[in-house]
Structure 1
Amino acid sequence: MTPDQIKLVQNSFREVVPIKTAAAALFYEKLFAIDGSLKALFRTTDMSNQGAKLMAALGFVVHGLSRAETVLPTVQDLARRHVGYGVIRSSARR
């Protein structure tokens, strides 16, 4: 990403932060509308807590875009943990 693109993403995310609870709820609503079978991965999950975790992870990544080399190991670890939760790569691109 270029410095200008990073700045645009970071500025856009700042606009989301005040509505982060609603944004996370909307994300999961859309996710489950796209693929209802994914609900099974969250059947015992407190979705309010899950939404907070999502927004915290996004915030971490967005704020680290200008130093991706320091963020990437954490994101890779998060991806590995999600494989353990049963997440698989979709062959369909939507």
Structure 2
Amino acid sequence: MTLTPQHITDIRLSWQVLAADADAFAADFYDRLFRRDPALRPLFSATDLPAQRRKLVAAIGLVVRHAGDLAPVLGPLAELGARHAGYGVKEADYATVGGALIEAIAACLREAFTPGIRDAWAAAYGAVAATMMAGADAAAPRKSA
């Protein structure tokens, strides 16, 4: 999937604001995620959440850096999707995560959160989620007919 030049600009400019207090942004994301679907919380029961927040911020930063050409991150994202499937993440969970992410971005940006910024982040997340789900699918054991 290719992001438009405007998507790339919107993502990069808004990321500067989000990354200024990245840990608070990531903590808000996880709070929103667990409120949207409390059943996801057990997937993180053995997880160091401060470390997980740093990983999330690093992953988003990587996508932002490569927004103009996502090809270099597609392989790592597919591998991440395969690992997430092993943790118990289901395809339906990606919509929940995407919703929580957009909510957290909107809350952080406040009045600077425009429909264009929403569209840009939704497009970027859609590309990431599709790649991760494809990685999970490719890693799934096949049932014989």
Q: TM-score, normalised by structure 1?
A: 0.92
Aligned residue number for residue 12 of structure 1: 14
- Which of 49, 52, 55 is residue 53 of structure 1 equivalent to? 55
* 2:54 alignment partner, SS class: helix
Superposed structure 1 runs of 4+ greater than 4 Å apart? 91-94
Percent identity, aligned pairs only, is: 36
Say whether residues 1:32 and 2:30 are aligned partners. Answer: no
TM-score (norm 2): 0.61
Q: 1:64 to 1:45 in 2, by over 3 A?
A: same
| Partner residue in 2 for 1:81 | 83
Deviations 1:16-63, CA, capped at 9 Å, x for gaps: 111100001000000000000101001111111110100000100111
Bigger relative contact order (CA 8 A; separation at least 6): 2
Give the number of aligned pairs: 94
Q: Gapped runs of 5+ residues in structure 1?
A: none
- 2:32 and 2:85 map into 1 onto residues whose CA distance is 21
Matched, 1:22 2:24: yes
> What is the Cα deviation at residue 3 of structure 1?
1.2
Residues 93, 22 of structure 1: alpha-carbon distance in 2 compared, 3 angstrom cutoff: closer
Counterpart-to-counterpart distance in 2, 1:92 and 1:50: 17
What is the alpha-carbon distance in structure 2 between the residues aligned to residue 92 and residue 18 of structure 1?
26
Q: SS at 1:55's partner residue?
A: helix
